[in-house]
Amino acid sequence: MAISPGWTEITDFGAQGWSPSADAAARARQCCEALEQGAILFFARPPFPLPEQDREFLIGQRHMDSRLHKNISYRPGEDVLRGFSDSQESENRIHQIMRAYSREVTGFVSRFLSPYAGKLQLDYASFRPLEEQGRDLPLHKRNDLLHVDAFPSRPTRGGRILRVFTNISPRQERIWLTGERFPALAQHYALQAGLGKFCRDGSSLRARLARLLPAARLPVAERTAYDKFMLHFHDWLKENSHFQSGTESTEHLSLTFYTSSGNIFASAFVGLSSNRTQKKVSHGNTVEGRPIRGARVH
């Protein structure tokens, strides 16, 4: 399997943990530091349990409403499933699968990236059954355009977003293109996108009011200047045709299935999606966990 020079294949960590020959503490810190520098870590096999019967059940689902439900999401803090409409029996089964996936991915991250353990803020897990390219969506909601991640309803207040993707389709690749790492991207485009304005607004009366409103129990998402800029930057990059047309700095990552001695394995990768531009461009069924926001190696 060909791996791009921009990604690092991890061969000394699997479902049972670090290999006996690895210096677990040192390797965990190395992997955290690599992620924070914009690297993407690739696993030829999922480094956590992924039951075959769960994968087959997800593959067997038919998700018809591509506009309203681009993914089926599981919210672990509330133990709630969103975006699925079918029989109660099927909904209960998917709820069970997504709950187990979220738990396994969270445990994996705590073991694999042990310097982050105890500093994790759990986010959603999701199942994405739809083709990204060519979907009829508003420009800002399209995932087949290069962008940095920012969540409108869940500001991170400066924390990074770590994502774990697993392709579960036995027939189709799931393909991403990734662009520049964030320091280079920001150097080229942040001022053009209006970074100065967001820095000035961070100390304005409006910003101070935004911090006071939650104390009055008024429904408002508290966003820092960082959150506001990252959300704006997410949209600005998608709107910028010159940026979207440039391909010289993009790299290709493909998540595939393969067989070995009669067994079927999925491939997976881990990355900080707020540290690098990325877009999803092709087929496949993907399960994703977002187990942490805000952790950092010191």
Q: What pLDDT does residue 28 have?
A: 96
Closest C-alpha to 45, from 226, 187, 279, 256: 256
Beta-carbon count within 10 A of 124 CB:
20
Q: What pLDDT does residue 111 have?
A: 94
Burial of 207 per CB tally in 10 Å (0-12, 13-18, 19+): middle
Closest C-alpha to 111, from 231, 240, 17: 17
Rounded CA separation 93/98 (Å): 9
The residue count for the chain: 298
Cβ-based neighbours of 43, under 8 Å, separated by 6 or more: 9, 10, 13, 14, 267, 268, 269, 270
Q: What pLDDT does residue 263 have?
A: 38
Q: What pLDDT does residue 177 have?
A: 77
Rounded CA separation 81/98 (Å): 8
Domains of the chain: which residue ranges? 7-293
Distances (CA, A) of 231 to 147, 152, 208, 224: 10, 7, 19, 11
Which DSSP helix (H) or strand (E) runs through 288? strand 286-293
Task: Please tell me the class of the 7-293 domain.
Answer: mainly beta
pLDDT < 70 stretches in the chain:
1-6, 62-70, 131-134, 202-222, 247-250, 252-267, 274, 276-277, 279-287, 289-298
Q: What pLDDT does residue 70 have?
A: 63
